[in-house]
Amino acid sequence: LSKLAIFRFRPAAETVTDVAVGRDALRLLDARLPRIAKGRWFVVSSGAVFERHGDRFLKAVLRSNVDPSPLLVPDGEKAKSWPVLGRLLLELTRRGLKRDGGVIAFGGGTVGDVGGLAASLALRGVPIVQVPTTLLAASDSALGGKTAVDLPAGKNLVGTVHHPRLVLVDTALLQTLPERVLRSGLAEVVKSSFLDLAFHRAFPRLEEGLAMGKPDALAEGVLRSLRMKARVVAGDPLERTGARFALNLGHTVGHALETASKHALTHGEAVGWGLLAMLELSVARVGLDPAVAERLSERVVRLVAPPRLTPRTLSGWVERLASDKKSDQRGLRAVLLAEPGRAVTLQVTAGDLEGSLARALRKSMPAGPSRS
Ligand SMILES: NC(=O)c1ccc[n+]([C@@H]2O[C@H](COP(=O)([O-])OP(=O)(O)OC[C@H]3O[C@@H](n4cnc5c(N)ncnc54)[C@H](O)[C@@H]3O)[C@@H](O)[C@H]2O)c1
Ligand SMILES: [Zn+2]
């Protein structure tokens, strides 16, 4: 995979997302942007990302109609706030965004979420192009169209579905990721490998390269994750049939842990524990072969290395399950794995999830340091 891999999918009627993954994918921007919108483009990024990779980015859009000074949002989750969204919208109109223009989100998942929301609201919606710079954003959040900001009551409580016209993953950008951010993103790649049989089978060949953050392994891992997600999203664009729910594997427990830890755990670390818990429950409830569960657990421990959970990190996590945005009248649902590539959704109780995390905790003593 030393050259670019490109595919196209239709997440909804009359909506097309082009996806390109590989080294130097940024160079496609100049040719692609004017085909999407001929007017002026604006870049949303964070200071930390733009300081590191802004020069590369600007060089790639030299001949395009892109405003060279980015609209900067705070780094990390702080970007996903109502005031930041408001400022983005004011700034976009002040700088003269027109209906024939567009927005490029250049950063991690936080930049993609708030940038995408701003693009979907400005002038009732202008095109968004996602250029993810974290592995989580590259392998997961940049594709699928979900945009969001947070409210005091919880994460992602305000948002729209606004599919990107282009998702461009340049693996060179991922080379500067801190170890912990890389591992957090690997949780989504590992999750994808559980949901897709071909990816699962290819995994042993990729595992070492992924663990070391090698560009070619990352490119293939990202590409396989995005293809899987594209297939699922295209089958359930508005999240009506429940098919898309499978992408939440590990996330019911993961979100509860992430919130209860007050984000001492990263999203990926929390999802890592969620995956381990779901493998336990899958053996008990949907007949996942224990030997396979064991191998998949090792994959999580090796690549995500979720840190040991301290009583402080754990406190209150079960109560958090009830406030899961995806729970409804019928209670909690969890995605289980009958076998690699075959997910099953089941009604579960908080007790089921608590018991399976406890079993996973007893079994694994992941190598990572403990965080509290
Ligand atoms: N829309 C969706 O479908 C979806 C799906 C999953 C997650 N999300 C959202 O994504 C967000 C998390 O995204 P994230 O993990 O990318 O976090 P993030 O955007 O906060 O980035 C993590 C850190 O990495 C740094 N960083 C980014 N690119 C870098 C690079 N190339 N080199 C070095 N450092 C770099 C950032 O400065 C930041 O400090 C959450 O808010 C979550 O809700 C959205
Ligand atoms: Zn996730």
Whole-angstrom distance, CA of residue 120 vs CA of residue 100: 14
Q: Looking at the CA of residue 174, tell me the nearest atom of ligand 1.
A: 31
- Expressed in angstroms and rounded, the spacing between residue 111 Cα and the centre of ligand 2 is 15
| pLDDT of the residue at 372 | 47
What's the token pair of residue 246? 């499978």
- Torsion, Cα 333 338 341 345, to 10 degrees, reads -20
pLDDT in tens, 257-270: 998 998 899 999 99
pLDDT in tens, 62-77: 999 999 999 999 999 9
SS3 (DSSP) at 369 = coil
Within 10 angstroms of residue 201's Cβ, the number of other Cβ atoms is 12
pLDDT in tens, 289-307: 999 999 999 999 999 999 9
Q: What DSSP character marks residue 39? A: S
Determine the distance from the C-alpha atom of residue 342 to the mean position of all C-alpha atoms in its chain, rounded to a whole number. Answer: 21
Is the per-residue pLDDT at 61 higher than 50?
yes
Instruction: Provide the mean pLDDT of the chain.
Output: 93
Percent of the chain with pLDDT strictly greater than 70: 95
Confidence of residue 240 (pLDDT cuts 50, 70, 90): confident
User: Left if phi > 0, otherwise alpha if psi is -120 to 50, otherwise beta: which for 262?
Assistant: left
pLDDT in tens, 341-364: 999 999 999 999 999 999 999 987
Q: Looking at the CA of residue 144, tell me the nearest atom of ligand 1.
A: 3
Q: Looking at the CA of residue 155, tell me the nearest atom of ligand 1.
A: 43
Within 10 angstroms of residue 68's Cβ, the number of other Cβ atoms is 10
- Expressed in angstroms and rounded, the spacing between residue 270 Cα and the centre of ligand 2 is 9
| pLDDT of the residue at 329 | 61
- Expressed in angstroms and rounded, the spacing between residue 150 Cα and the centre of ligand 1 is 14
Confidence of residue 214 (pLDDT cuts 50, 70, 90): very high
Contacting residues for 253 by C-beta, under 8 A, at least 6 apart: 270, 273, 274, 277, 278, 321, 334, 353, 356, 357
Q: What's the angle, vertex CA 191, arms to CA 189 and CA 193, rounded to 5?
A: 70
Q: Per-residue pLDDT averaged across 123-129, rounded? A: 98
Give pTM, 2 decimals: 0.95
β-strand pairing of 15-22 with 332-339: unpaired
Tell whether the torsion through CA atoms of 155, 262, 82 and 80 is positive or negative. negative
> Which residue, judged by its Cα, is nearest atom 21 of ligand 1?
108
> Which residue, judged by its Cα, is nearest atom 4 of ligand 1?
141
Is the per-residue pLDDT at 144 higher than 80?
yes
Determine the distance from the C-alpha atom of residue 129 to the mean position of all C-alpha atoms in its chain, rounded to a whole number. Answer: 16
Structural element, H or E, at residue 175: none
Confidence of residue 86 (pLDDT cuts 50, 70, 90): very high
Whole-angstrom distance, CA of residue 105 vs CA of residue 43: 6
> Which residue, judged by its Cα, is nearest atom 41 of ligand 1?
110
SS3 (DSSP) at 340 = coil
The ligand minimizing its distance to the Cα of 183 is 1
| Mutation to probe ligand 1, out of 110, 184, 189, 251 (largest number of atoms < 8 A from CB) | 110
SS3 (DSSP) at 341 = coil
Within 10 angstroms of residue 215's Cβ, the number of other Cβ atoms is 17
| pLDDT of the residue at 130 | 98
Is the per-residue pLDDT at 56 higher than 80?
yes
Kindly tell me the burial class for residue 351, based on how many C-beta atoms sit within 10 Å of its own C-beta (0-12, 13-18, 19 or more).
Answer: exposed
Q: Per-residue pLDDT averaged across 222-234, rounded? A: 96
Q: What's the angle, vertex CA 342, arms to CA 336 and CA 346, rounded to 5?
A: 30
